[in-house]
Amino acid sequence: MKLAVAALLWLSLTTAVSASPVSDEIEVRTFEVILSHDDTERDTVGELKYRGGLDIRSTDRRFGGLSGLDISPDGRRLIAVTDRGDWFTAVLAYNRDRSLSGLSDTRMMAIRAEGGAPVTGRAETDSESILRLTDGSLVVGFEQRHRLHRFMTPGEAAKPFGFPAALRRAPNNGGAEAITRLWGNQLLILSERLEASPGIAAGWVGAGRAWRAVGFRKTGIFHPVGAATRDDGTVFLLERRFTTIGGIAVRISRVPPGTIVPGRIFQGTELAELSPPLVADNFEGIDVRRGETGETMIYVVSDDNFHILQRTLLLMFSLAE
């Protein structure tokens, strides 16, 4: 019943988005992404089964830099934010075996500041993360000028939203990369680059003006860049590392319900690592939902940094438990 109600709420909100006069439909092309070029038949990595992927391309100069990711409970609608202050929305398509196969109704619109004008300037536009509150509104985390803003729907003006004052100490490109709703409207924020102590990423749990510190024990040189919460309170983390020799890699890990407690340090258990020769890119956004048979569907999206040598990839995996 909760899933059905959530799906109806999501549909009502995204229907309003599609009809919004400030949204522009853009043309995109998608190409199938295979999990491994060394073994084109491979469909598992770690504990996850690969359920399809898309390489998304567009000639629209606004497209790219996708970071935060929100997937509707029924898996049909996608909302993302970009590094340059835009929303990207789309309808997702699946094939007969329920693997990801395409996009339609792809739209972009400006993220608007509290006064209603589009955000401008690098310090204001660098949106990196997204979560959905219990009333269906969206909270977006920004870097450069570290802050959180709340939006009733994409395209509407921002509303102020409280955040921990200590977040202002984060490096320009290492702020609220990973945010998710834990329970009620209590949020988890993890900084990509600010450390509470060596090897412990700084984090906070709370809402409004009431925040308490938590710590996330990092794995080697991986940094938290995305977070999502399943309906039972399990948190899924996206962690990323980059080295000149080893290149880029990401880990998808899991944190059991009740593990994230203010004042304590927690860590995740790895489910899978994506690194060459598997498909690997600058993945920064993650979301989860329940599939039709109860399995956990995990989506990740990559940020191409508007660079010709990087790609915008949307991948889907399933976790059977």
Output the six-digit token pair for 36. 């491994």
The residues near 147 (Cβ < 8 Å, ≥ 6 apart) are 141, 163
The count of domains in the chain is 1
Which residues constitute the domain of residue 115?
A: 2-319
pLDDT at 316 exceeding the cut of 50: yes
Percent of the chain with pLDDT over 90: 85
Q: What SS3 state is found at 169? A: helix
Q: Can you give the CATH number for the domain in which 193 is found?
A: 2.120.10
Residues 6 or more apart in contact with residue 280 via CB below 8 angstroms: 247, 248, 249, 250, 274
* Band (146; pLDDT cuts 50, 70, 90): very high
Written as one letter, the residue type at 292 is E
Whole-prediction pTM: 0.92
pLDDT at 21: 39
Q: Is the peptide bond between 224 and the residue preceding it cis, with omega within 30 degrees of 0?
A: no
pLDDT exceeds 80 at position 226: yes
Name the pairing type of β-strands 296-302 and 312-319. Answer: antiparallel
